[in-house]
Amino acid sequence: MTRTDTRVGPVEARPALVPARPFWTSRRRDHLTGYLFIAPQLIGSAVFVILPLILVVWYSLHEWNVLAGTFEFVGTDNYAALAEDPNLGSVLRATGLFSVGLVVFNLALALLLAVLLHQKLRGTIVFRTLFFSPVVVSLVAWTIVWGFLLQDNGGVNGLLDTVGVDGPNWLRGDGTAMLSVIVVQVFKNVGLNMVLFLAALQGVPGELYEAAEVDGASRLRQFWRITVPLISPTILLTSIITVVGSLQVFAQIAVLTQGGPGTSTTVLVYYLYQQAFQFHHFGYGATLSIVLFAIVLALTVLQWQMRKRWVFHES
Amino acid sequence: MRTGKGLRVVAAALTGALALSACGGGGEAEDKGPANLRVTVWSANEAHLKLFNEIADEYRKSHPDVAGITFDPLPFENYTTTLTTQIAGGNAPDLAWVFENSAPDFVASGALLPLDETLKKAEGYQYDDISPATLKLWQNGGKLYAYPFSTSPFGVFVNTDLLKQAGQKTPAELIAAGQWTWDAALAAAGATQAATGKAGLVIRDFDYKGWDNLSTFWTGWGAQAWSEDGKSCGFASPEMVDAMTTLHKAIFTTKALPGPGTTADFFAGDAAMTVTQISRASLLKDDGFAWDLVPLPAGPKGPYAVVGQAGIGVMKRSPHADVAADFLAFLTNPTNSAKLAQFFPPPRQSQLTAETLAKTNPKLKPEQLQKVVIDGITSGVVKPSHAGQAEISQQVRAGLDPLWKPDADVKAVLDGVCAKIQPMLAK
């Protein structure tokens, strides 16, 4: 400390007489608290959703040779290659077929099970548990077991054999392979949609059915005129979840068919996996995943727009 | 408004920082601290890993700067895919086992470190002892990029109990009578299947997907997947059509081979015979069935042998590439090569004698070693390999799928395979 310092001190201290606004105002504190609350979600989204999305777009503009360690900018070359890809047509067909098959089978079966198990009968809880249990089973374990059952000399054909039916080679036939993959996936996840439908059914007021009965409406008419409109928001939700899920199918294909026979079960996700991780075309694989993203986004937006037409609660 | 702006700044900063850290992961790492080497291998077999670890421990005794050496087994079925995924994710091993079907891609890519110098100058290494024929696949521009760690001929393991139970002659008897041909082998397999209900003959790891394993069959007909220069497709050749017609008949008419979608494990006693590599001998149980190992049956073109190869290379981008190369030189020196010979036939000429191999192969008789291993390595055709093989392989698999049906038109299917892969081969 010098003399000069002590002299200057009081001069500088003068402005402090006017009370400074503290940095941590209650407003800022509130904001910080808010950010801290959303931080886990925000960081999770940034690391696992936003960043990969940005990187995938970046990768799709490059030719990335993993082995050689080269990463070259190629502009829109990978997008141009989409148009010339001889396999893309059959891949999109297989993807569409899988999605349509899965959504139709899954929603129809889930609704049927929900309506049946909504009845106040003995044993419904046991059946609800039974149908829901595959949802919590490991996907790969479930698929491997089904792989054994669907073998030519597997359990399914053994069962058919006892009633005198010579079953096909499920996973090797052109038509049966896709059907098998769809059915395995439907059985895996139908329980989830069933529970959602059950919850929705329980929210339908009983007096509406009583009134309809007084008016002489049949059970079928009651279903179409009361049940379906009132659970339509749930139908929308389940259909969006199922469509998006169907477009992301991978493990079942990888375990059961590896895209075969031929390319009959090579769906988009499996194809992009092949391109990126087996053929080492990471740039083109990223481009295919952008295509997948666009399809999922378009279908979700379409369903969301259509909700006004068929979802009862929406005005 | 201020809040919105602040949020955007935080999000942008976070994303930027993460992007930078992610990009950093893929770059070349610097050599820091003591080396911890990781070697990816396909085998999770306890006996194999025990031997690897013993050799690694011995190396570490004289190299205290190496903190650890880990042998990391990756599943055989998707070994190369897992390895390349690790490389793409910035988690490349220091040393990697490479199969012959991906050898051209790895060798030509520049991903591996040239080894000639390290191996040649290693004390007592005897580089010239390595058979030049075994090095061919692993060389590019006159440099060696991987050591031919295992040159493993295909042979036929035989469950003699099952064959006798079905009243069939054993392959040893057929060999003695000069009748060990594919016709005889398939007839015995079909008859055993009919009599016992177990599978006749299994071409291991084929499973109607791994078609390159069928080269152990069609080579007997003089067929090949593609020409020597890799430019023209061989699937539509008359030899291949003959071979595949025989195979198709054996699967769907005489049931000598289990059909598509049927699994049968020879080593669990489910099949009378299996075509596989000698390195699989470790799967035989001491208290299991009576067995024999014989060479591949002769085809219409006479006796032949097929070898599968695997090399071990050093990843150039490893932060400890030099240490890894030095360890590879130790792992494959004459002493360790002799130890490893019990599972992985060595490329060293001095060790390819029945006497040397017999010392470390208690399960195999000198006669089996001579006929299957030594003769196989010296005269064997290597399984198909081609640059970009994964993509070609996928096309061949998809193209061959229509063949695995009882009423298939063999010629038409094989023409279809060539139509698909010819443009890729010609590239």
- The count of structural domains within chain A is 2
Mean local confidence (pLDDT), A280-289:
93
* Average pLDDT of the segment spanning B153-162: 93
Interface test with B, best of A70, A272, A279, A281 (most B CBs within 10 A): A279
Nearest chain B Cα distance for residue A131, angstroms: 28
Check whether residue B291 and residue B417 sit in a common domain: yes
Q: Quick check: is A245 in a domain?
A: yes
How does pLDDT run across B282-291, given as a tens digit for each residue?
Answer: 788 877 899 9
DSSP secondary structure letter of residue A137: S
Q: Is residue A211 part of a domain?
A: yes
ipTM (interface pTM): 0.79
Are B246 and B326 found together in one domain? no
Statement to judge: residues A184 and A240 lie in one domain: yes
Taking CA atoms, A159 is separated from A64, B8, B26, B197, B399, in Å, by: 49, 61, 52, 19, 32
State pLDDT tens for residues B240-284. 999 999 999 999 999 999 999 888 899 999 999 999 988 788 788
- Find the angle CA(B34)-CA(B39)-CA(B42) to the nearest 5 degrees: 165
Q: What is the mean pLDDT of residues A15-38?
A: 84
Mean pLDDT, chain B, rounded, equals 87
Residues B239 and B258 in one domain: yes
Number of structural domains chain B divides into = 2
pLDDT one-digit tens code per residue, B82-133: 998 899 888 999 999 999 888 998 998 889 999 999 999 999 999 999 988 8
Mean pLDDT of A70-79: 92
B4-13 pLDDT tens trace? 444 444 444 4
Element (H, E) at B259: none
| Mean pLDDT value of segment B395-418 | 94
Measured between CA atoms, the residue of chain B closest to residue A280 is B84
The verdict on B140 and B241 lying in the same domain is no
- The whole-number average pLDDT for the span A86-102 is 94
B279 and B132 inside one domain: no
- Which of B82, B401, B403, B405 is the best residue to mutate to test the A interface, defined by the most A CB atoms within 10 Å of its own CB? B401
Query: What domain range includes position B275?
Result: 153-306+383-426
Residues B111 and B242 in one domain: no
One domain for residues B80 and B120:
yes
Instruction: Considering only the beta carbons, identify the residue of A151, A260, A277 that sits closest to B262.
Output: A151
Same domain, A162 and A17: no
DSSP B91-115: ---SEEEEEGGGHHHHHHHT-B---
| Contact with chain A for residue B252, Cβ under 8 A | no
pLDDT of residue A67: 85
Chain B environment of A69 (Cβ under 8 Å): 110-111, 317
Chain A positions touching B394 (Cβ under 8 A) are 274, 278-279
Q: CB of B411 within 8 A of CB of B419?
A: no
- Residue B143 and residue B71 in one domain: yes
Question: A101 with A28, same domain?
Answer: no
Nearest residue, CB atoms, A152 vs list B10, B18, B259 = B259
In terms of domains, do B136 and B160 share one?
no
**Contact check, Cβ <8 Å, B391/A278:** yes
B265 in contact with A at a CB cutoff of 8 Å? no
Q: What is the pLDDT of residues B75-90, one digit of tens each?
A: 988 899 899 889 988 8
Least confident of A236-240, B50-54, B418-422: A236-240
> Are B129 and B205 in a shared domain?
no
**pLDDT (tens digit per residue) in A158-197:** 999 999 998 898 998 888 999 999 999 999 999 999 999 9
User: Across the A/B interface, how many CB contacts are shorter than 8 Å?
Assistant: 95
Same domain as B127, residue B70: yes
Whether residue B21 lies inside any domain: the answer is: no
A35 and A176 fall within a common domain: no
Give strand ranges (E) for B188-249: 199-203
Residues B208 and B338 in one domain: no
Domain that holds residue A243: 85-310
Q: Is B66 a domain residue?
A: yes
